[in-house]
Structure formats: structure tokens, C-alpha cells
Amino acid sequence: MAPAAPKSGDVIFASVDRVNAELFTLTYGAIVRQLITDLEEVEEVNKQLDQMGYNIGVRLVDEFLAKSSVSRCVDFRETADVIAKVGFKMFLGVTASVTNWDADGTTCSLILEDNPLVDFVELPDTCQGLHYCNILSGVVRGALEMVSMKTEVTWLRDMLRGDDVFELQVKLLKQVPEEYPYKDDE
Amino acid sequence: MVREVSESCVESLLAEIVLSYCSGFYANKPELAARRIEAIGFQVGHQLSERYTMDRPRFTDNLEAIKFICKDFWSELFKKQIDNLKTNHRGTFVLQDNRFRWLAHMSIDPSVQASGNIQDPSAMAENKSAQATGMHLYFPCGIIRGALSNLGIECAVSADISNLPACSFVIRIKA
Amino acid sequence: MIVCVAVVGHQNNPLYIQSFTKADDSLKLHHIVHCSLDVVDERVNNPKKSGLIINETFLGLLNPTENYKVYGYLTNTKVKFILVTTDLEVRDADARVFFGRFHTAYVNAVSNPFHIPGKKITSRKFAERVSTIVKSFGLSSSS
């Protein structure tokens, strides 16, 4: 049987259970503020947000594959495209674009012009080292790891720090081939 | 148009709050974890009540504010109203949601149903998953307390899940 | 012309106050705002006497002085907004439109996760929005 054709991000987003984005935005903001109070060091908060995102990415990848009918992407280039066009749209209702590919196709940037996480947010001067959206980089890293791609994800541009867009650089470190229980020659 | 995100986003955050505070920083101090989770909810409720009361006249009494929580506020969050509101007319209100969404996707440990009330998390400390379910409820309790506090009503809020999948929120207004 | 706007907390603590005059009369304007708070309390406690629609957020004209007209607004969360203008003829509709926009700007400012309830509003975005709203006062519903 031929695999079902992948659905577009818009179609999937229209079909999933959705909630008022304000609840999501304000909840995330309250988490960040509480973490700053409890962990004190901004660097620790960045780490914690990344870890939370990683856990979410690991969990959400199944929902993503099931609802999108995307068969596992073999190619990193194709995978990046699917994350940007389908993944972001399906969960956050916004689409990212993929740019800045390097020559060997292992590093690219996801660009977000609109990001529901930061509605209403203004960073205070005491939090300048904070990567407010670090949960997103964790989600991308966690989800990719579940499809056997080990990556390093870094923020290059951040609208909360005055940049015109959010730019998330994704660098493929290692692609682990899927393991099968038996070797071919046996 | 109202901006929306997938419900999974909110549920994922909720799960991570509980995981971070209960298994991470405060693994052996459930009271502290509970207080932090409640505080996160409080901030959210405080901000949401500011937003959701914007286009309406001021409330004349506590009952009117509680009814607002049951109807408009709950509908904004869960696309349904509270199913049943009871009061003893002495400052205690019980709001029952017959199928509370934030518990709907969780596998509930039967031992939680036995212990029911989450007011005493330390009593459940021996059972991690029971504790986690209880911990999930500090967030909505905080939301309700924060929302009412911003409307000038100081209260204590607890949750009762002895009747799953129904969940009751008990509001005790401070005299 | 609007010469001053203010946000005042439920314990009459100033959360934001901005004057828009070239002259150095901010002290006088602050005093006018301060005096109007008592009028707000009186209005709210005796709605019948002041002929208000019960519990409407818009409180109308508070106290006309010789040179200024002062309007008030009270949110459900007991936060007061005060508007001071030098216009002799102000239409209620214009004041309502102003407060509606101002309220939205206020709610967005306090939705910033780093804003602490009861503390002064320091947001630059809020200041910019307020200045835009002040400039457009009376333009939308006139003519």
C-alpha cells in the first residue's frame, strides 16, 4: 500500500484540538519568571528551558508523525523543511522558513517572523543573557533525535533583543542509521 | 481573529512544569514543588482575569465574580462552562467540571482516587504517579486563585478528584 | 488636547503618570490627578447620586476645573485611569474611545511576564502606545 501523502501544515492545524494562544503564552511566561526566581542564574534558566523543550520534542514527535502522515525523512534537508512548514504550523499555528544552507547541506537556519511565545514579552535589563525562547530549540533538538538525527541548535537572532526575526541555527552532527534487529547478511 | 495554538502545546508545558518541579528541583519536597506550581498558575490567572474582564461592567459582589469564573473564564480556557456550582452561602463555593480537560489525557493511578484531595501532597509522597496527578491540579487551583485575587477576592482554592473524571474546585473566601 | 494620563492602583498607588505639555506644569497636573481619585471613590460608592449606569467602567467627567476637564475609568480589577484635557468641548464618545484603547494597551503591558502586579509600569512599548493613543484623541469619532 502506498503511504498516505503528507498533509499540509494548514490542514493539520485546522484539524487538531486548539486553545486560546493567550493561555499558552502567559503560562510559558509565568514558567520563565518562576524559573528565574528559583534558579537565579540566567544561564541555568536557559539550560532548564532547553531541557524542558527536549522532553517535549521527544514526546511530540509521535503525535507529529501520526497526524502529519509524514513518513520518516531520510534527508536532513527534507526534514528541516518539514519541521518548518508542518511542525511549527501544526503546534504553534505559525510557519517558519528555511534558509542559510551551508555547502554540504548539514547546517541551516529556521526563521520565525511571528512567534506566539513572545506576545506581550519585554525583557528586563537584568535578563539580557536570557534566551527566552530556548524551549523551542530544545523541542527541535529532541524531536530530531527521535528520528536519529543528532543536532546542535543555536539562536542567532532574537526579536526580544532587537533583531528583526528569530533565527534558529540547526547543525546536523551525526545521523545515526536506524538499527534493525538482524544484520542483512544473516 | 483569536490567535490559537495546538492544545498539545499547553498540555506539554503543564507536564513539564510538574516534571521539572517534582522530579527535578524539589524531588523530596513536594510542598515546595506544589507552592511553585501554584505560583505559576496564580500569575497566569491574575493576567487572564485582567484580559477577560476588559469589556464587562464591574462585578457587584463575590457571587457575580464566581459566576464569571464558571462561565466566561472557563469557556475561554476549556471551551465549556463549569457544570455545577454549589455554595454554603458562607464563603465556600464548589465548582464542578464533569470532565476536566487537563486530566482527560492522563492515566490516573487508582490510588489517587482513593486519597482524593490534593491538599496534603506529602501524604501521597510515597506514590510518585499519584503525586504527579495531584501536582497537576495545583496549576488550575493557582489560576482560579490568581483570577479572583485580581478581582479583589482573597481566597484559598483546592481540588477534589474523588469523583473522576469529574474534578471539583473548592474556593474558600477569606473573611 | 490631552495634557496628562495616569494609571492608579487599587490602593491609590500611582502605576503610571505621563504629562504631554511643554510647560513645566507636571506638578500641577499630578495634583489634579490626585484630587480626582477621591471623586472616583465617591462616584463608585454612591452610583445613584452621581447618575451612573451601575458599575460601568467609564465614569464620565469627574471634576471640571477652570482650565481642565478630567475624566475617569475604573476597571474590574480596581485600577483607575485618569485623563486630563484642556479641550473645552469633549464628547463622551471620544473619551470612551480613548479609554477603550488605553485599557487594551494597559492589559497588554501587564501581560508581560516580567511585570510585577502593583509595581510601576516601565514598559517602553506601553509608553509608545499611549503616546499614539493620546495623539489620536478625538480624531476617530469626530466629523
Structural domain contains residue C100:
yes
Residues ≥6 apart with Cβ < 8 Å to B130? B109, B111, B112, B115, B124
Give the up-direction half-sphere exposure of residue C136: CA atoms within 13 A in the CB hemisphere: 14
For residue C60, the surrounding DSSP H or E stretch is strand C58-61
Q: How far apart are CA B77 and CA B84, in angstroms?
A: 17
The A-side interface with B (CB below 8 A) comprises 13, 16-24, 26-31, 33-35, 38, 48, 51-52, 55-56, 59-60, 63, 90-93, 116, 119
- Phi/psi-derived region of residue A105, left when phi > 0, alpha when psi is between -120 and 50, beta in every other case: left
Q: Does C111 touch chain A (CB under 8 A)?
A: yes
Structural domain contains residue C143:
no
What is the per-residue pLDDT for A55? 95
Per residue of chain A (186 residues), what is the pLDDT tens digit? 455 566 788 888 988 899 999 999 999 999 999 999 999 899 999 999 999 999 999 999 988 888 887 776 678 999 999 999 999 999 999 999 999 999 999 999 999 999 999 999 999 988 989 999 999 999 999 999 998 999 999 999 999 999 999 999 999 998 877 655 555 554
Write out the residue range of the structural domain in which residue B80 sits: 29-173
ipTM of the complex: 0.89
pLDDT tens for each residue of C49-67: 666 667 889 988 887 777 8
Per residue of chain B (175 residues), what is the pLDDT tens digit? 689 999 999 999 999 999 888 887 777 788 889 999 999 999 999 999 999 999 889 998 999 999 999 999 999 999 999 999 999 999 999 999 999 999 876 655 444 444 445 554 444 444 566 667 788 899 999 999 999 999 999 999 999 988 888 999 999 998 7
* CA closest to B153 among chain C residues: C77
Yes or no, beta carbons of A122 and C114 under 8 Å apart:
yes
Yes or no, beta carbons of C75 and B58 under 8 Å apart:
yes
- Measured in angstroms, the CA of C108 and the nearest CA of chain A are apart by 6
Query: How many other C-beta atoms are found inside a 10 Å radius of the C-beta of residue B122?
Result: 11
Helix, strand, coil percentages for chain A (3-state, nearest 5): 50, 15, 35
Structural domain contains residue C22:
yes
Asked whether the beta carbons of A83 and A95 are under 8 A apart, the reply is no
- Measured in angstroms, the CA of B51 and the nearest CA of chain A are apart by 9
Structural domain contains residue B109:
yes
**What is the CATH number for A139?**
3.30.1380.20
Yes or no, beta carbons of B58 and C117 under 8 Å apart:
no
Q: How many domains does chain A have?
A: 1
User: Which residue(s) pair with B158 in the sheet?
Assistant: B170
Strand order in the sheet with C80-85: C14-19, C2-8, C80-85, C69-74, C58-61
Structural domain contains residue A14:
no
Please provide residue B66's backbone torsions phi and psi, each rounded to the nearest 5 degrees.
-65, -40
Q: How many CB pairs under 8 A join A and B?
A: 98
Yes or no, beta carbons of A31 and B39 under 8 Å apart:
no
Yes or no, beta carbons of B3 and A20 under 8 Å apart:
yes
Q: How many domains does chain C have?
A: 1
Residue in this structure with the C-alpha cell 523541542, named with its chain if needed: A139
Yes or no, beta carbons of B5 and A22 under 8 Å apart:
no
- Measured in angstroms, the CA of C40 and the nearest CA of chain B are apart by 14
Asked whether the beta carbons of A32 and A117 are under 8 A apart, the reply is no
Give the up-direction half-sphere exposure of residue A177: CA atoms within 13 A in the CB hemisphere: 4
Best mutation target among C104, C110, C112, C122 (most A Cβ atoms within 10 Å) is: C112
Asked whether the beta carbons of A35 and A130 are under 8 A apart, the reply is no
Structural domain contains residue C142:
no
- The CA–CA distances, whole Å, from A44 to A13, A22, A48, A119 equal 33, 26, 6, 23
Pick the more confident residue, C142 or B19: B19
What is the per-residue pLDDT for A186? 42
Yes or no, beta carbons of A33 and B8 under 8 Å apart:
no
- Count Cβ neighbours within 10 Å for each residue of A32-55 and write b for 16 or more, e otherwise: bbbbbebeeebeebbbbbbbbbbb
- Measured in angstroms, the CA of A120 and the nearest CA of chain C are apart by 5
Structural domain contains residue A34:
no
Grid coordinates representing C2 are: 490631552
How high does pLDDT run on average in chain C? 88
- Chain A residue numbers with beta carbons less than 8 Å from the beta carbon of B19 are 52, 55
* CA closest to C108 among chain A residues: A120
Structural domain contains residue A132:
yes
What is the per-residue pLDDT for B107? 58
Structural domain contains residue A31:
no
What is the per-residue pLDDT for C52? 62
Write out the residue range of the structural domain in which residue C75 sits: 2-135
Neighbours of chain B (3+ CB pairs under 8 A): A, C
Q: Give the predicted TM-score (pTM) of the model.
A: 0.90
Helix, strand, or coil here: B61? coil
Q: How far apart are CA B170 and CA B97, in angstroms?
A: 12
- Chain C residue numbers with beta carbons less than 8 Å from the beta carbon of B57 are 53-57, 76
- Count Cβ neighbours within 10 Å for each residue of A130-144 and write b for 16 or more, e otherwise: bbbbbbbbbbbbbbb
Asked whether the beta carbons of C121 and A120 are under 8 A apart, the reply is no
Structural domain contains residue A122:
yes
Query: Would you place residue C72 in the very low, low, confident or very high pLDDT band (cuts 50, 70, 90)?
Result: very high
What is the per-residue pLDDT for C47? 67
Grid coordinates representing C60 are: 464620565
Write out the residue range of the structural domain in which residue A123 sits: 41-175
* CA closest to A33 among chain B residues: B40
Please provide residue C83's backbone torsions phi and psi, each rounded to the nearest 5 degrees.
-125, 125
- Chain A residue numbers with beta carbons less than 8 Å from the beta carbon of C128 are none
Q: Does C111 touch chain B (CB under 8 A)?
A: yes
- Chain B residue numbers with beta carbons less than 8 Å from the beta carbon of A63 are 8
pLDDT tens for each residue of C29-53: 888 899 899 999 888 887 666 666 6
**What is the CATH number for C69?**
3.30.450.70
